[in-house]
Chain A
Amino acid sequence: MSDTTIDTTTPRASTLQQARLPRWAPLGLAVAAVAAGVGIGTAAGMGNPFQMGLIAALLFVVLSYAVTAAVEGGRQAKNQLATSLVWLCFLIAVVPLLSLIWETVNRGKTVLDGYFLSHSMDGVQTILPGGGAYHAILGTLEQVGIATLIAAPIGLLTAIYLVEYGRGRLAKVVTFFVDVMTGIPSIVAGLFILSFWIIILGFGYSGFAGAMALAILMMPIVVRSTEEMLKLVPDELREASLALGVPKWRTILKVVLPTSIGGITTGVMLAVARIAGESAPIVLLVFGSQAINPSPFEGAQSSLPYYIYEQWQLGNEASFDRAWAAALVLIAFVMILNLVARGIARWKAPKTGR
């Protein structure tokens, strides 16, 4: 009996407490790894920051694992390894994005000014600085606008059909074709409109023809995102409305759509952002132009992606600058659309408001 008596006079060492690295340890290790990476790289005569970064990253993963294993033990070391790998992947994903924006802003800002935004390339010697992208901005706005006017209502109504009414065969067929359409390459959409609208029906090149091809690309994206948003609306709300004696169509219009309008808008805006960068259908159907053509229904127009491609092909310093500036305008356009979409989503989101 006596050998099992627990000694209560001296407290046992707690089993819950163990040696921990200080909180700044990962940061310190990272700094050390970067310093070592730069050091090794310079010593080996590598001028490339990516190589140095890679060395530093590998060092950091190994070092943090080893240090944690030595101080805190095996389980924490594995945790640390997973954490460093996640961080590493995050950095690898973010570096190209940031460097893309950095590069575009840096190169694009040289000629981006009020003059660039308000003048076309009409009568500008391409080898000389000057000229602008007004005709391309106008073309993009008109083509994307018309494409949205065509695709958004059709996509919205299709999604409403699929979620609220679609049962049985027809719904399955529609879903299947929406899936197929999602995978259509933009050049194929362009070729379809080219053969149908320009070759068979005999219309000329126009912004409208391009807009139709863009609408084909946009529709399945709108259907998919809207479908997901409508499915998020709880059935209880639909039932609550139906049980009040509200007809189904009014339930959809007054209860289901307002509840999901924020998400639907975001989806449409993202689809717009996606088609704003398409150049293949524009090359085929809008033809490209140096001058301002305000009418999307008659004659060739330009568009930002096409303008970038065209300026780049000219292959001189002044046109390179213009291409970068146009790229910056395009990115800014897409970014503004995204911000607007987020704003609308936040503004329209169902409020809890305690």
Chain B
Amino acid sequence: MAKRIDISGLTAYYGSHKAIEDISMTVEPRSVTAFIGPSGCGKSTFLRTLNRMHEVTPGGRVEGKVMLDDENLYASGVDPVSVRRTVGMVFQRPNPFPTMSIFENVAAGLKLNGSYKKSELSDVVEKSLKGANLWNEVKDRLNKPGAGLSGGQQQRLCIARAIAVAPDVLLMDEPCSALDPISTLAIEDLIGELKERFTIVIVTHNMQQAARVSDRTAFFNLAGVGQPGKLIEIDETERIFSNPSVQATEDYISGRFG
């Protein structure tokens, strides 16, 4: 349950292109950490290195250490599949499985891993959907296709799917950027509830969102086009938004960027 992530000296490549360079930080358990920064600065890449999804991209490789409590995710002999069961992920665009019903979508993680008891399955689905604040909207149509829901509902379905496998950490890659303000609010409220149980890392382009939902905020930047992205600073969200210690952060947050 809710583990601490300790990243040290992490550098990620796409082929020969260095996408992010030498990032070290600590993500606290049972809290929300937000990543902000301009497009292309490597926030999403960095997020994807935290559950070894980065190497799914052809040519993607990583140097450095990511400690989940006391286990290094990149130690030799670590199976990326089991890493991803511990560190769940929600994507930018809602991506429910189109061939599956709402129920099957939520149960997908358990079913596809083959490690479940039939009797527990509907309990887990109900708990996950309640956890994602979707249960009341879909309880009468669990057998309808997941793709028939609205965008905001689909995204909450994806969150339910991610928490159904009981991960320790939940990574969210701009989970609200494709949603309207009301659905965004629903997801933000949900994040506030989920942080009681999970360690949450969220990438966002919306500074207000970072200020609303996160406890700590990390600011990333890149020196120029083609340069690797770097961590500029990470601190309590309140401090980052009121009195950051680096000038670039203040410029970005107050809109004087570039």
Contacts and interface: CB of A to CB of B under 8 A. Distances in A.
Interface of A: 167, 234, 236-247, 250-251, 254-255, 258-259, 350-354
Contacts of B113: 244-246, 250
B95 A353 contact: no
26 contacts: A236-B95, A237-B95, A239-B95, A240-B158, A241-B97, A242-B56, A243-B89, A243-B162, A244-B85, A244-B108, A244-B165, A245-B81, A245-B82, A245-B85, A245-B86, A245-B113, A246-B108, A254-B112, A258-B99, A259-B97, A259-B99, A350-B99, A351-B98, A352-B98, A352-B147, A352-B148
Contacts of B83: 245
B115 to A, nearest CB: 10
A254 B100 CA distance: 10
A189 B51 CA distance: 49
Contact of B148 (A242, A244, A354): A354
Contacts of A167: 58
Nearest to B164: A244
Contacts of B97: 237, 240-241, 255, 259
B112 A241 contact: yes
Nearest to A261: B99
Given A236-B91, A250-B112, A243 B99 contact: no
Contacts of A259: 97-99
Nearest to B158: A240
Most chain A beta carbons < 10 A, residue from B93, B95, B99, B112: B99
Interface residues of B, number: 32
Given A258-B99, A350-B147, A353-B144, A243 B93 contact: no
A246 B85 CA distance: 8
Nearest to B83: A245
B35 to A, nearest CB: 17
B56 A241 contact: no
A350 B95 contact: no
Interface string B147-176: 110000000001001100100000000000
Contacts of A244: 84-85, 88, 108-109, 112-113, 161-162, 165
Give the dominant DSSP class at A's interface.
helix
A241 B53 contact: no
Contacts of B131: none
Contact of A245 (B84, B95, B99, B145): B84
Interface string B71-97: 000000000011111101101010111
Contacts of B58: 167
A252 B183 CA distance: 32
Contacts of A238: 56
Contact of B109 (A237, A245, A353): A245
A94 to B, nearest CB: 35
A237 B89 CA distance: 13
Contact of A242 (B53, B98, B145, B162): B53
B210 to A, nearest CB: 22
Contacts of B161: 240, 244
B148 A353 contact: yes
Given A245-B81, A255-B97, A351-B99, 4 more contacts: A236-B95, A239-B53, A247-B81, A352-B147
B95 A246 contact: no
A240 B99 contact: no
Contact of B51 (A236, A243, A353): A243
A240 B147 CA distance: 14
Most chain A beta carbons < 10 A, residue from B81, B86, B109, B112: B112
Contacts of B82: 245
B97 to A, nearest CB: 6
Contacts of B165: 244-245
Nearest to A260: B99
Nearest to B56: A242
B161 to A, nearest CB: 7
Contacts of B95: 234, 236-237, 239-240
Given A240-B91, A243-B88, A350 B98 contact: yes
A242 B88 CA distance: 10
Contact of A246 (B96, B112, B148): B112
Contacts of B93: 236
Nearest to B115: A245
Most chain B beta carbons < 10 A, residue from A254, A258, A259, A351: A351
B14 to A, nearest CB: 14
Most chain B beta carbons < 10 A, residue from A244, A247, A255, A259: A244
A255 B96 CA distance: 11
A48 to B, nearest CB: 54
Q: Which 3 A-B pairs have the closest CB atoms?
A: A245-B85, A350-B98, A244-B109
Contact of A351 (B53, B56, B84, B148): B148
Given A242-B84, A245-B82, A351 B145 contact: yes
